Every structure is written in C-alpha cells, then in structure tokens.
Amino acid sequence: MSDSWKLTLPCTRAEAEALAEDIAPLAGLDPPPVLMTSEPDPDAPDAWQLDAYFEGKPDAATIALLRGLVPSASAAKPLLARLPDADWVTLSQQGLEPVHAGRFFVHTSQHGEAPPPGTIAFRIDAGLAFGTGQHETTTGCLQTLDGLKRRGARFRNLLDLGTGTGLLAFAAMRLWPLAYATASDIDPIAIRVSAENAAINRIPLGADHGRLALAVADGLDDPLLAANAPYDLIIANILAQPLIAMAGSIAGALAPGGTLILAGLLDSQAAAVAAAYRRHGLRLAGRVDNRGWPTLRMVKRRR
C-alpha cells in the first residue's frame, strides 16, 4: 500500500509562479513532492493555492520548508491530509485538462481521448519541472510560436532557455524540424525531466539538426550554449527579474534580425522587461496577453 499525503497552503499568484519556476529548495528531499498551484476563484485573481503531494507523511521541517516558500501563508494553518491508497502522481494530475494553444494540444497520461484532428500533440505529465502547458506563460509561448509559423517565419538555430519540461523546445522543433535546437535549465532535475519527455514524445536528442541538445546551465554561462550561438530564435519563459538581469547576455546570443520570446512576467512588469531589451538593440514586435501574464515577441535590429 502507498502512503500518500497532500499539504495545502494558500499563496499569491506571484508566489505560485516563482515556486513553479524554482524547485531548487526542494532538491534535498527524497523524493521531492509534486507541486501543483491553482487559482480556485477567478474572481480573486491573487488568491492562489499550493498543493504538495508527498510519498510518506511530511515531517515538521518539511512543512516549514514549504511554508517558507510561500511567505504570505505564514499565518495560515497548513491543511495536511492522508490520501486514499492510490498513485500519488496520478492524483496530482487529476483535474488537469488538456491545453489547446494554437495548433498545439498538450495533455497528460490521464487523458485517453484522441487529440483533435490537425493538432500537434505532446504528452507532458505534471511533476518536478515547470512547463506542463497549464500555465498562461507556457500557453502564451505556444501561441506565439504558432503565430510565427503562420506568418511564414523560418528558424535554423533555436534555444529554449530555462526549458523546464522541454515542451517549448519540442514545439519549436515540430514547427521547424530541420533547425538545430538547444534547451537548457539551471536545474539538473529539469534537464532529466526534459530528456524523459523527449523520449515520450519521440524528440531525438543530439547535436545535429533536427535533434535537441540538452544542457544544465546558469543562464547563458555554458560552453555548449556559447558554441551554438548566435541563435535566430530564443525562448525564455523564466521570471521578470532574471530576464532583466540577463538582457545583455541574451541579446548578445541572438543573431541580428533574430526573434526573442519572453514570458514568465506579470502585466505590471512587461514595460520594464521590454525596456531592458530595447537598451540592447531589440524592438517589441508583438504581444500575447493571457489573464495578466503577457508574452513578448521582440526582434533584434539589424546593424
């Protein structure tokens, strides 16, 4: 019999996004919990909820660690409940409906129906990395990629920076199958998850065109990423402050005339992010808005 537990805490929308992007504080837990964030009431857009699924009852130190990741819940009482005998990963995925973004259809293993005709389907299970397609930031990137393809854009060398599950790299590779493709993340677990998802979705790994090269890297600071630059398409679904801090290095890795997709930012942060990249020779060429989470499409000016 399994011994599965669920810990529930309230959180803010910003905390939910930050938690989804950064699971490093949980890396010392064996096994780490599966984290799910949700917006229970659309009329209260900043009142989110964190559900953490554990194999085994979490101790006081683990509960304190989770509470520390959502400071707004410091005065809230954690809700801890033992779950019925069941697969804990399956439980964490219940209620995750498939996402249809542009021509892309993203589903979990619990969705048994056939994808809609004419769609590009990916199976991305909820787990230890961000980017299942459920969040508006990921959806916005998928919609932007779809729009680029519809307008006839062509890319030969692409980078998914902060890849999470690998989904955005997979999507770009399906649209431009002959391109060289690289995906990186600061978290080794994310790169492991990306490799597993690549196998599930029949994405070949390797350094040749039509294959995906994976790298554990802190931003652009990696020999593989430097060797593969410049890129004519960079996708960076991270957070506003890291995007601003890395504006110079990301712009420097983008070829003149290249396209940059930026996401992971709130509507109130979009102007500051765009301004940081304008200072490095990029212009805002398009924007997708999903419930307060904008996705920016920027183009590097040709010299």
End position of a domain, from candidates 93, 115, 131: 93
pLDDT at 134: 45
Q: Which of 110-119, 222-231, 266-275, 285-294 has the lowest mean pLDDT?
A: 110-119
Residue after which a domain boundary falls, among 93, 120, 140: 93
The CATH number covering residue 296 comes to 3.40.50.150
| Whether 31 and 113 share a structural domain | no
Q: What are the tens digits of pLDDT across the range 287-301?
A: 998 777 899 999 999
Domain shared by 175 and 233, yes or no = yes
Question: What is the model's pLDDT at position 165?
Answer: 87
Higher-pLDDT residue of 262 and 303 is 262
Residue 150 and residue 82: Cα distance in Å, rounded?
48
What is the number of domains present in the chain? 2
pLDDT of residue 225: 95
Cβ(91)–Cβ(110) below 8 Å: no
Report which DSSP code applies to 72.
G
Q: What does the pLDDT read at residue 126?
A: 64
Domain that includes residue 45, residue range = 4-93
Are residues 89 and 133 both part of a single domain?
no
Instruction: Indicate the pTM of the whole model.
Output: 0.71
Q: Identify whether residues 36 and 122 lie together within a single domain.
A: no
Same domain flag for 243 and 293? yes
Q: What is the mean pLDDT of residues 212-216?
A: 96
Distance CA 263, CA 137 (A): 6
Rounded-to-integer distance, Cα 77 and Cα 141, Å: 36
Residues 144 and 111 in one domain: yes
pLDDT at 133: 42
66-117: per-residue pLDDT in tens?
Answer: 898 899 988 888 999 887 654 444 444 444 467 888 899 888 877 667 888 8
Same domain as 250, residue 198: yes
Reduced to 3 states (helix: H, G, I; strand: E, B; else coil), residue 214 is strand
Among the candidates 59, 93, 127, a domain finishes at 93
CATH code, domain with 13: 3.30.70
Q: How long, in residues, is the chain?
A: 303
Residue 169 and residue 29 in one domain: no
